Amino acid sequence: MKRYITTPIYYVNDVPHIGHAYTTIIADFLKRFYALRGDETFFLTGTDEHGQKIEQSASARGKTPMQYATEVSGKFRELWNEFGIDYDHFIRTTDDYHIKAVQLAFEKMRERGDIYKGEYEGQYCVSCESFFTPTQLKEGKFCPDCGKSTSGVKEESYFFALSKYQDKLLEWYESNPILPSYRQNEVINFVKNGLNDLSITRTTFEWGIEIPNQKEGERKHIIYVWLDALLNYVSALGYGGDEKNMSFWQGSIHLVGKDILRFHAIYWPAFLLSLGLPLPQKIYAHGWWLNEGQKMSKSIGNVINPKEVSDEFGNDIFRFFLLREVPFGQDGDFSLNALVDRINSELSNDLGNLLNRLIGMSEKYFSLSLNSSKAKEFFPTEANELENLIAQALPLVENAQFHRYLEEVWKIFSLSNTMIARYEPWSLIKNGESEKTEALLVFLCNALFKGTLLFAPIMPTTAQKIADSLGIEIAPSSFEKMIIQNHYQERFEITKITPLFPRVEKKEKEEKVEEKKAEVKVEEKNPLIKIDDFFLSDLRVGEVLECKNVEGSEKLLLFQVDLGEEKPRQIISGIAQYYNPQDLVGTQVCVVANLKPAKLMGLVSEGMILSVKDENGLKLIIPQEKRKNGSKIG
Q: How far apart are CA 488 and CA 400, in angstroms?
A: 29
Say whether 128 counts as a known binding-site residue: yes
Q: How far apart are CA 187 and CA 434, in angstroms?
A: 62
Taking each continuous run of H as one helix and of E as one strand, the counts in the chain are: 23, 27
Residues 6+ apart with CB under 8 A from 198: 131, 159, 160, 162, 224, 267
Say whether 143 counts as a known binding-site residue: yes
DSSP-derived letter for residue 632 is: B
Cα 36–Cα 84–Cα 280 angle in degrees, nearest 5: 60
Q: How far apart are CA 155 and CA 118, in angstroms?
A: 9
Q: How far apart are CA 19 and CA 272, in angstroms?
A: 27
Do the strands 289-291 and 282-286 form a parallel or antiparallel pair, or are they unpaired? unpaired
Q: State whether the Cα torsion 235-238-240-241 is positive or negative.
A: positive
Q: Is residue 453 left, alpha or beta, with left meaning phi > 0 and alpha meaning psi from -120 to 50?
A: alpha
Q: How far apart are CA 172 and CA 353, in angstroms?
A: 48
> Position 297: which residue type?
S
Count of Cβ atoms closer than 10 Å to residue 392 Cβ: 15
Q: What is the arrangement of strands in the sheet containing 588-592, beginning at the earlier edge strand?
A: 569-573, 557-562, 539-549, 588-592, 608-609
Q: How far apart are CA 382 and CA 405, in angstroms?
A: 20
* Nearest C-alpha neighbor of 207 from the set 50, 14, 9: 50
Asked if residues 223 and 127 have their Cβ atoms less than 8 Å apart, the reply is no
Asked if residues 287 and 326 have their Cβ atoms less than 8 Å apart, the reply is yes
Peptide bond into 597 cis (omega under 30): no
Say whether 125 counts as a known binding-site residue: yes
H or E element in which residue 467 lies = helix 460-470
- HEC string of 74-109? HHHHHHHHHCCCCCCEEEECCCHHHHHHHHHHHHHH
Q: How far is CA 519 from CA 575, 582, 600, in A?
A: 9, 22, 15
Say whether 146 counts as a known binding-site residue: yes
Asked if residues 263 and 226 have their Cβ atoms less than 8 Å apart, the reply is yes
Asked if residues 570 and 603 have their Cβ atoms less than 8 Å apart, the reply is yes
Supply the DSSP string of 518-579, one letter for each residue: SSPP--SSPPP--HHHHTTS-EEEEEEEEEEEPTT-SS-EEEEEE-SSSSPEEEEES-TTT-
Q: How far apart are CA 19 and CA 27, in angstroms?
A: 13
Q: How far apart are CA 392 and CA 395, in angstroms?
A: 7
Count of Cβ atoms closer than 10 Å to residue 589 Cβ: 23
β-bridge partners, 132 = 123
| Helix, strand, coil abundance in the chain, percent, nearest 5 | 45, 20, 35
Q: Which residues are annotated as a binding site?
A: 125, 128, 143, 146
Q: Which residues are annotated as a binding site for Zn(2+)?
A: 125, 128, 143, 146
